[in-house]
Chain A
Amino acid sequence: MTYLRPNFRHPDLPKNALGYTRQYYEGRLSTLCAGCGHDSISGAIIQACFEMAIEPHRLAKLSGIGCSSKTPTYFLANSHGFNSVHGRMPSVATGANLANRDLIYLGVSGDGDTASIGMGQFVHAVRRNLNITYIVMNNGCYGLTKGQDSATADKGSVNKTGIANQFQTIDLAGLAMELGATFVGRSFSGDKEQLIPMIKAALVHEGFAFIDVLSPCVTFNNNTGSTKSYDYVRDHIEATAAVDYVPIKSEITTQYAEGTNKVIRMHDGSLVELHKLAPGWDPLDRGLAYSRLNESRAKGEILTGIIYMEPQSRDLHYMLDTDQRPLNTLKEADLCPGREVLEVINSENR
Chain B
Amino acid sequence: MQQLSSINDLVIRFANVNGTGSASANNLFAKSIFRMGIPVTPKNIFPSNIQGLPTWYEVRVSDKGYLGRRSGIDIMVCVNPQSMKNDIESVRPGGYFMYDSSRPLENQYLRDDIHYIGVPMIRICQGLFPQPRQQQLLKNVVYVGALTALLDIEVDVVKNLISEEFRKKEKLIPLNFQALEAGIDYVHKHYEYPLGLRLERRDKIGNWIMIDGNSACALGAIYAGATVAAWYPITPSTSVVDAFTKYAKRLRTDPITGKKKYAIVQAEDELAAMGVVIGAMWNGARSFTATSGPGVSLMNEFIGLAYFAEIPAVLIDVQRGGPSTGMPTRTQQSDILLAAYASHGDTKHPLLFPATPKECFEMTAEAFDLAERMQTPVMVMTDLDLGMNDHLCPPFEWDDSKQFDRGKVLDAEDLEKVKEFGRYLDVDGDGIPYRTIPGTHPTKGSYFTRGSSKDEYARYTEEGEAYKRNMDRLLKKWETIKDLVPGPEHSGTGENKEGVIFFGTSAYAALEATDRLGAAGVEVDTLRLKAFPFNSAVQEFIEQHDRVYVVEQNRDAQMRSLLMIELGIDPKKLVSILNYDGFPITAGLIVNGILKFHPEVQALVANGQQASAGESTVNRKS
Q: Is the CB of B442 within 8 A of A57?
A: yes
The answer to the question of B446 belonging to the interface, with a C-beta cut-off of 8 Å to chain A, is yes
Q: From A324, which residue of chain B is reached at the shortest CB distance?
A: B259
Chain A, 317-350, CB within 8 A of any chain B CB = 317, 320-324, 326-328, 330-332, 334-339, 341-343, 345-346, 349-350
A327/B228 in contact, CB under 8 A: yes
Complexed CA–CA distance, A306 and B230 (Å): 33
Residues of A within 8 A of B404 (CB): 332
**CB of A152, distance to nearest CB on chain B (Å):** 21
Which chain A residues (267-324) contact chain B, with CB distance < 8 Å? 317, 320-324
Tell me whether B581 is interfacial, beta carbon within 8 Å. Answer: no
Q: Mark B255-298, 1 if CB is under 8 A from A, else 0.
A: 00111111111011101111111111111110100000000000
The answer to whether A349 and B283 touch across the interface, beta carbons within 8 angstroms, is: no
Answer yes or no: A198 CB below 8 A from chain B CBs.
Answer: no
* Residue-wise interface mask of A (67-78) relative to B, using a CB-CB cutoff of 8 A (1 in contact, 0 not): 000001100011
Check if B447 is an interface residue, CB within 8 A of chain A: yes
**A324 to B257 Cα, complex, angstroms:** 9
Tell me whether A339 and B263 are in contact in the complex, defined as CB-CB below 8 angstroms, given that A95-B283, A349-B209, A349-B211 are known contacts: no
Q: Are B267 and A124 in contact (CB under 8 A)?
A: yes
Tell me if B46 counts as interface (CB < 8 A to partner A).
no
How many Å from the CB of B158 to the closest CB on chain A? 16
A338-B398 in contact given A96-B283, A99-B285, A321-B260 (Cβ < 8 Å): yes
Contact in complex: A83, B446 (CB < 8 Å): no
Say yes or no: B287 contacts A342, CB within 8 Å: no
Contact partner, B285, options A73, A84, A100, Cβ 8 Å? A100
Give A331 to B403 CA distance when docked, in angstroms: 9
A180 within 8 A of B: no
Is the CB of A234 closer than 8 A to any CB of chain B?
Answer: no
CB pair B275–A95 under 8 Å, yes or no, is yes
Q: B395 contacts which chain A residues (CB < 8 A)?
A: 343, 346
A324 and B263 alpha carbons, distance in the complex (Å): 12
Whether B268 lies near A98 (C-beta < 8 A) is: no
Interface bin, chain A = 35 or more
At the interface, yes or no: B172 with Cβ under 8 Å from chain A?
no
Q: Is the CB of A332 within 8 A of B403?
A: yes
- In the complex where A57-B441, A337-B223, A339-B398 touch, is A100 in contact with B451 (Cβ < 8 A)? no
Q: For chain B residues 381-440, which have a beta carbon within 8 Å of chain A? A: 395-400, 402-404, 436-440
When distances are taken between beta carbons in the complex, the residues of chain A under 8 Å from B252 are 335
Are A60 and B272 in touch, CB under 8 angstroms? no
CA A223 – CA B34 in complex, angstroms? 78
Question: Is residue A93 contacting chain B, with contact meaning CB distance below 8 A?
Answer: yes
- When chains A and B are docked, how far (Å) is the Cα of A349 from the Cα of B275? 34
Q: Which of A62, A324, A339 has the most CB of B within 10 A?
A: A339
Q: Which residues of B contact A60 (CB under 8 A)?
A: 283, 438-439
Q: Which A residues lie within 8 Å of B90 (CB)?
A: none
Closest residue of chain B to A346 (Cβ to Cβ) is B395
Question: Shortest CB–CB separation between residue A56 and chain B, in angstroms?
Answer: 7
Interface pair A55/B442, CB less than 8 Å apart = yes
The reply to whether A346 and B396 form a contact with Cβ atoms under 8 Å apart is yes
Chain B positions within 8 Å of A124 at CB level:
267-268, 272
Is the Cβ of A91 less than 8 Å from the Cβ of B276? Answer: yes
Q: Are A103 and B282 in contact (CB under 8 A)?
A: no
Q: How far is the CB of A22 from chain B (nearest CB, A)?
A: 16
Which residues of A come within 8 Å of B, CB atoms? Answer: 55-58, 60, 62, 72-73, 77-85, 88, 90-100, 102-103, 120-121, 123-124, 128, 317, 320-324, 326-328, 330-332, 334-339, 341-343, 345-346, 349-350
Q: Can you give 16 A-B contacts (C-beta < 8 A)?
A: A78-B443, A80-B448, A80-B449, A85-B301, A91-B272, A91-B274, A92-B276, A94-B265, A96-B280, A102-B439, A120-B268, A321-B258, A323-B257, A327-B262, A337-B222, A349-B210
- Extra pairs beyond A56-B446, A95-B281, A320-B260 (9, CB < 8 Å): A83-B451, A84-B275, A85-B275, A90-B275, A98-B227, A98-B228, A317-B263, A323-B254, A350-B210
- Residues of B at the A interface (CB closer than 8 Å) are 34, 207-211, 219, 222-225, 227-228, 230, 251-252, 254, 257-265, 267-269, 271-285, 287, 301-302, 305, 395-400, 402-404, 436-443, 446-452, 460
